[in-house]
Amino acid sequence: MSVRCLALLVFVVAALDACRTSTVRFLPVGTRVPVSELEAQGGDLRAFIAREIDRHQYARAYFALDVLKTRPYTELRLGSSRVAEDLSDLRSMVGPLRSARDVHRGIGIVKRSGQQRRMSLSSRVYWDHLRLFEERIEALNEWSPGLPSSYAARKIYGASSVEETHLAFSADEAFLSFMVYGERVFGFIVTNGNLVVRPLAWPSTRLREVLRHLLDQVREPPAPQSLTAWMASAAELHDAVLGPFADELRNPRLRALFVSPDDFLASLPFVLLLEPNAKGRRPLAERLGITYLPSVSVYRQLLERPILNEPPRVLAVANAIYPPDVTALPFAEREAVTVSELFPGSTILTRALATEEQVVALAPRYNVLHFATHGILLDDIVTGASSLLVTADARHDGFLNAAEIASLDLSRTYVAVLSACDTATAAVPNSTDLGSLVNAFFGAGVPSVIGSLWQIEDQATTLLMLGFYNRLLELGAAEALRQAMLDMRTDRRFAHPFYWAAFALYGWNK
Amino acid sequence: MRVPVAIAACLLLLGCQPTVTVYYRTSPRRVEISKQVSPSSLYALAIQAAPDGVDVHLKRTSRVTIRRVLHYNSAAIVYDHNRSVYHETLELLLGLLHILAPISWGAEFFPNEQDTPEKRIVRHRGALLAYLDPTTSGDHFYVHVEPIVKQQIFSDAPTTREYEIRIPAPEVNVAFRVLDEAKNDLARGSATTDPYGELQIRGDLSRAVAVEISTGEGVIIVPIQPSAPPVEAAPIGPAAMPHAPVGGELVNEEWTKQNQDTSLPRVSLTIDVVPFGISSWISGSSNLNLSGEIRVQREISLSGEVRVHRKFSVGGLVWRESISTGDVFDTTLARSLEVGGYLRFYIKGDFGAGAYLGLEWLSGASSTTGPIDLTSYGPTLGYKFTSRLGGVLRGCQTFELAASLHYLRISDPLTQQSLVSRWRPIGHINLGWSF
């Protein structure tokens, strides 16, 4: 009798247990799209992403977007040595240069005359890299299933899934990525592991128009009668660009927002966007530290960089000897002098001393690099051609281009400040590249890069940089820049965004 | 009656603990910073901008000390209890079966991987205990991922940065004198520094070598530098610039210590195979001829060792020895069951594997032919090695070589007459399990 009771009990318990759901929940490495499928799109990944969104396959669309945005960086990093050789003398390729506008009190972007031929890097390099990454992921998953183990063990970063993105950020951080596809603009936001994809209500044409209007208001020194003219555009753009994600961004615990813009949105100063609050509107920078990223995969590589344990020593490069018709930058030199005098052991290279040979030789030995010189955007020739202008010497053309920078070993550099104009915006329409110069410094090993979105006023820049460097080691690059900007706003002379909103941090924010 | 039992069962299952947790380092979480700034003092640079001009840059300089600790987020794979009554019942039965198979006592559920800067393994229960303990699961893990765990597991070693910062001193009223080599005034006057903390002194200053600057805070004499100083040799060389690799030495030592301890076995149970005469030369150390009259031979030797600290353990001994005549008749005089203990300190390695120095003590009082008192004590030196073998379930096999030198004393409790009193060397080859 007792055996029967025991058998019945075992049967009942087993039956109840069978009703339970599976007890083993291995989390895979995330939703991915096979490399072969992406490569088969023939370079039109945007159309693929839009299709996946229309099919409600948001995680697949997100993965493809990360592939799209990681590509320029990876190509530059993998091919920088070869490209640097091809671009060793850009003078003949670029043609005559001229200053874009009156830069007697500031730093100007340099333009060139006429159109040049477009070179292209081999796309095979990137797809081969992705394929290697995919094989490694499969091998890892076979031996050690589970997302965290494969995440931690991986050293090759091809592309990141939503799940891996979740692991890359803290609970008080959000990641917002945009994609422009014709007239459609999509935003992907990842907070606490949740991916939300929403289309922006405005078509890209209208967004461009309002953005152009905003930039017109803030890129020039303000007239006394139009100190607040920028606010209407900033509020409109906030509602159009961040409005769809208001629920996610309203989280009071949120401290940092990482933005991966696309196309023309790379020129949008997110710090300026005016969000509504109880008293009206306030710049987003008052609440959130904003950092720009090319993609999460690039960010994850930056996280592997060592943290320096040395006092800052600045290499400041300013006001080199430029080609004819390119204006000298005496005020940039003054800014560089002030910055270089902040810390003992710093060095300044100006004019005849700022040769490309000197810069290339000395840059790997300093942990803060400060360039106050002209920038020239040549992404339309080839990825990696955009340059910082320094003094030419017997062996160099004076174009310190992105490919040359990416092939340097700057692994000891903590932060690079590009206090030149437009270093962070891309010249190629529909490019996802935030700026090949910024990517070049990432590729060389610099985890944090500060670039500028427009021409900068010299005295304000000097004050902003002093505020930034004064806080850099205490607060980290993002918070130091944010507080320096907010300090500038409290100074009545420099309260207008023209003076403080031009700089943006790219990369690692701590 | 059934309701309280059901409630108790539910509470028991709610209190279930994970068996193994594997933590993986992910993204940086926060930077902990402490900063000290010394009071600022005035500092000046003087630069010969032109033959007729000297630029003075006035700064406020401070010493700053910043201590930074970078803390990381971590994700975890948790091998948890499945809260299944059915499985737990089976596990209890399985656990009881395992007790009968000592080779499984030291089994573990997770491969014996080493911790790395990016991975930490915490074993909350051994395999056998997980079977027997109703709040931990053995065979049927409930494996799940916690993408961001609340505990602070990974942190870099703190980095302390000391540096000097020189902020421009704008709007400072200064009186200046420009001096030549003979300390004659080439120019003098007063001025206020501009927004960059700079002032320009003009005049015939080609022979100037220094500038004396007086402010309300004191007087500074500054040598004049040429306007374009040569580029110095780069001050940062590879050797002068050590950098802390991400995930280097842990800052949370307590956690490390705890983790190291949890990865070690807690108990070792061994049996000495020397008394079984596995080899003739070894048996020589197991048998002892005393003056050709009395022989002491170990028949059984068991020991159990418990970890008190990574480097320190206590143990118990149970020996059975026979005392016989050492002549051709080999008559057994007595069989003594001895109980004792020992202390061990691991001079190299730790409880898991290493060389140790110990002190043993045994006492016995039983006899088959008449009462005797036996006391045996002395130092011991040995080496213990633990290997983890097996597939998914890994057992900790323990192998131990040791040599002891015991002072043996055998006496008749009735007459208090000492039968034996001398040193005896003893060899041990201990085999067993750890868990």
Q: Which residues of A touch B19 (CB under 8 A)?
A: none
Strands A448-452 and A415-418: parallel
The nearest CA of chain A is from the CA of B205 a distance in Å of 22
The answer, yes or no, to whether residue B248 has pLDDT greater than 50, is no
- The answer to whether the beta carbons of residues B211 and B55 sit under 8 Å apart is no
- What are B10-44's pLDDT values in tens digits? 666 566 778 888 888 888 888 888 888 888 888 89
Cβ separation A338–B59 shorter than 8 A: no
Residue indicated by tokens 């990842």: A190
| Nearest CA distance, A502 vs chain B (angstrom) | 21
- ipTM > 0.85, yes or no: no
Find chain B residues with C-beta within 8 A of A334's C-beta: 196
User: Is the predicted pLDDT of residue B338 greater than 80, yes or no?
Assistant: yes
Contact A338 B24 (CB under 8 A): no
A48-105 pLDDT, tens per residue?
999 999 999 999 999 999 999 998 888 888 877 777 777 777 777 776 666 554 433 3
Local confidence band at A421 (pLDDT 50, 70, 90 cut-offs): low
Q: B277 versus B399: which is more confidently predicted?
A: B399
Are A510 and B28 within 8 A, CB to CB? yes
Q: What is the pLDDT of residues A444-494, one digit of tens each?
A: 989 999 988 776 677 788 888 888 988 887 888 889 999 999 999 998 888
Q: Which residue has the higher pLDDT, B269 or B276?
A: B269
pLDDT value of residue B249: 36
Q: What is the pLDDT of residue B175?
A: 93
State whether residue B249 is helix, strand or coil: coil
CB A142 within 8 A of CB A211: no
Q: Test B145 with A146 for CB contact under 8 angstroms.
A: yes
pLDDT for B37 equals: 87
Backbone angles phi, psi at A390, to 5 degrees: -130, -175
Mean of pLDDT over chain B? 77
C-alpha distance from residue A339 to each of A217, A367, A507 (Å): 29, 14, 22
Whether residue B244 and residue A148 make contact (CB cut-off 8 A), yes or no, is: no
Q: Do B26 and A148 touch (CB under 8 A)?
A: yes
Cα A123 from Cα A35, distance rounded (Å): 13
Chain B interface, best mutation among A339, A350, A473, by max B CB count within 10 A: A473
Contact check, Cβ <8 Å, A27/B145: yes
How many residues does this entry show for chain B? 435
Query: How many other CB atoms sit within 10 Å of the CB of residue B158?
Result: 15
H-helix or E-strand spanning residue B132:
helix B127-132
Spell out which residues of chain A touch residue B34, defining contact as CB-CB under 8 Å: none
* Triad B31, B36, B42: Cα angle to 5°: 130
Q: Cβ contact (<8 Å) for A26 and B143? A: yes
B85 vs A contacts (CB less than 8 Å): 13, 16-17
Q: Which helix (H) or strand (E) holds B168?
A: strand B159-168
Helix (H, G, I), strand (E, B) or coil at B319: strand
**Token pair of A60 as six digits:** 């697949």
Q: Which residues contact A502 (CB under 8 A, 6 or more apart)?
A: A269, A452, A453, A454, A455, A456
Q: Which residue has the tokens 């992406």?
A: A38
| Pairwise CB contact (< 8 Å): B26 & A342 | no
Burial class (CB in 10 A: 0-12, 13-18, 19+), A128: middle
Whether residues B28 and A462 touch (CB distance < 8 A) is answered with no
Test B196 with A345 for CB contact under 8 angstroms: no
CA A493/CA A499 separation, integer angstroms: 9
Q: Is the pLDDT of residue A239 over 90?
A: yes
CB A386 within 8 A of CB A112: no
Kindly list the residues from chain B whose CB atom is less than 8 angstroms away from the CB atom of residue A414: none
pLDDT at A430: 39
Q: Mutate one of A9, A10, A12, A17 to test the B interface: name it (highest B CB count within 10 A).
A: A17
SS3 A399: strand
A437 vs A123, residue with greater confidence? A437
CB A145 within 8 A of CB A154: no
- Point out the residue among B27, B82, B243 whose CB comes nearest to the CB of A23: B82
Greater confidence (B396 vs B116) lies with: B116
Q: Is the pTM of this model over 0.90?
A: no
Distance CA B48, CA B46 (A): 7
Instruction: Transcribe B327-389 into DSSP letters.
Output: STT--EEEEEEEEEEEEEEEEEEETTEEEEEEEEEEEE---SSS--EEEEEEEEEEEEEEEEE
CB contact under 8 A, A151 and B159: no
Q: How confident is the prediction for chain A on average, in pLDDT?
A: 81
pLDDT at B237 over 50: no
The answer on pLDDT for A29 being more than 70 is no
Pick from A149, A349, A469: which is nearest to B77 by CB? A149
Q: Greater confidence, A18 or A403?
A: A403
Q: Which two tokens stand for residue A114?
A: 């006429």
Contacts of B111 (CB under 8 A, 6+ apart): B394
Question: CB neighbours of A125 closer than 8 A, spacing ≥ 6?
Answer: A74, A75, A78, A79
Coil/strand/helix, residue A55 = coil
Least confident of A341-345, B284-288, B368-372: B284-288
Residue B412 has pLDDT above 80, yes or no: no
Residue A159, min C-alpha distance to chain B (Å):
16
Does B237 sit within 8 Å of A170, measured CB to CB?
no
pLDDT at A190: 93
Q: Select from B207, B204, B203 the least CA-distant residue to B180.
A: B207
Q: Could you give the CA distance from residue A249 to residue A256 in angstroms, rounded to a whole number?
A: 10
Question: HEC states along B253-308?
Answer: HHHHHHHHHHCCCCEEEEEECHHHCCCHHHHHHHEEEECCCEEEEEEEEEEEEEEE
Q: Tell me the two tokens of residue B375.
A: 């006391």
Q: How far apart are CA A354 and CA B85, in angstroms?
A: 76
Residue A213: C-alpha distances to residues A264, A270, A281, B54, B280 (Å): 13, 15, 19, 46, 99
Nearest CA in chain A to B140: A23
Interface probe for A, chosen from B84, B86, B144, B225 (most Cβ of A below 10 Å), is B86
Alpha-carbon distance values, B428 to A291, A355, B130, B300 (Å): 66, 76, 32, 12
> Residue B283: how many CB atoms within 10 A of its CB?
16
Best mutation site among A166, A474, A479, A483 for testing chain B: the one with the most B CBs within 10 Å?
A: A474
Whether residue A406 contacts residue A384, with contact meaning beta carbons closer than 8 Å, is answered with yes
Q: Which residues of chain A neighbour B142 with C-beta distances below 8 Å?
A: 23-25
> What's the confidence (pLDDT) of residue A242?
95
Nearest-neighbour CA in chain B from A447: distance (Å): 13
Tell me if B75 and A349 make a contact (CB, 8 A cut-off): no
> Which of A24-33, A48-57, A246-255 shows the lowest mean pLDDT across its residues?
A24-33
Helix axes A124-143, A58-86, angle to 10 degrees: 130
The CA-CA-CA angle for residues B110, B27, A31, to 5°, reads 75
B420 token code pair? 């034996």
> Sorting pLDDT into bands at 50, 70 and 90, what band is A109?
very low
Q: For residue A369, what pLDDT band results from cuts at 50, 70 and 90?
A: very high
CB contact under 8 A, B85 and A305: no
Choice between A99 and B398, residue whose per-residue pLDDT is larger:
B398
Residue type, A423: T
Residue B326 reports pLDDT greater than 50: yes
Residues in chain A closer than 8 A to B77 (CB atoms): 146, 148-149
* pLDDT of A105: 34
Q: Which residues pair with A257 in a beta bridge?
A: A174, A290
Residue B224 has pLDDT above 70, yes or no: yes
Q: What is the DSSP string of A415-476?
A: EEEE-STTTTS-SSTT---S-HHHHHHHHHT-SEEEEESS--BHHHHHHHHHHHHHHHHHH-
**Nearest CB neighbour to A166, from listed B147, B163, B243:** B147
Token digits for B164? 């000097």
Local confidence band at A117 (pLDDT 50, 70, 90 cut-offs):
very low
Q: How many CB atoms lie within 10 A of CB A189?
A: 21
Separation between Cα atoms, residue B434 and residue B304, nearest integer Å: 10
Name the band, by pLDDT with cuts 50, 70 and 90, for residue A189: very high
Q: Which helix (H) or strand (E) holds A145?
A: none
Tell me the DSSP string of B177-214: EEE-TT--EEEEEEEE--TTSEEEEESS-TT--EEEEE
Q: Do A170 and B241 touch (CB under 8 A)?
A: no
Section A118-129 average pLDDT: 67
Q: How does B76-104 read in b/e, with b if 16+ C-beta sit within 10 Å? A: bbbbbbbbbebbbbbbeebbeebeeeeeb
The residue among B232 and A40 whose pLDDT is bigger is A40
Q: Which residue of A has its CA nearest to B61?
A: A342
